[in-house]
Amino acid sequence: MKHPLLILLVALCLLSLGQAAWYYPQLPGLVATHFDATGRANGWMPPAHFFQSRVVFTLGFTAFFAALAFAAAQLPAPLIPLPHKEYWLNPRQRDETKRQITNMILSSGCGGLAFFLFCYQRVHQANLNGPHHLTPSFGVILITALALIAGPLVSPLLRFWKTGSD
């Protein structure tokens, strides 16, 4: 595991699991787990179920992105969906292209885990500090998610639309 983004993905996973373990004993008898667009709680579950679902989600999310990055690096050229594939996957470019694809996947996974860490922190605060209301608004949370997950994809994808002669 020498890839820095893979190390970061695992570190964020461990941080998320640590966050869950830290807050679990502090949670109330029913945990607000779902919130409407205004941030008001409208779904609840016992703390044990919340903790278990969070652990399963965190491990599954991390495993999915790690496996996807590994699989992308192993795919044969005909199965890699890229524009200008003949340029980007020629023998001279292939290793660098696969490295960039792996970086895109792992960066998105890291962004996703960072976003979920933020969201879970807000959920914990809403449950521990009073009236079961999330702040900031849903729109801010959604924009943050898009930036963290899709942001790392934009620059490399734009680069793949060009070739060395462009």
Instruction: Identify whether 156 is part of a domain.
Output: yes
Instruction: Identify whether 133 is part of a domain.
Output: yes
CB neighbourhood size of 96 (10 A): 10
Q: What is the domain extent for residue 93?
A: 4-160
Q: Higher-confidence residue: 135 or 45?
A: 45
In this predicted structure, the answer to whether residue 5 has a pLDDT above a threshold of 90 is yes
Instruction: Identify whether 140 is part of a domain.
Output: yes
pLDDT at residue number 162:
72
Instruction: Identify whether 165 is part of a domain.
Output: no
Most confident of 10-14, 81-85, 86-90: 10-14
pLDDT at residue number 110:
93
Looking at the chain, the whole-number percentage of residues with pLDDT higher than 70 is: 90
Considering its fold, how many domains does the chain have in total? 1
Instruction: Identify whether 70 is part of a domain.
Output: yes
pLDDT one-digit tens code per residue, 126-145: 899 877 777 766 667 777 77
The CA-based angle 155-86-71, given to 5 degrees, is 65
- The rounded radius of gyration (Å) of the Cα atoms in the chain is 19
Instruction: Identify whether 166 is part of a domain.
Output: no
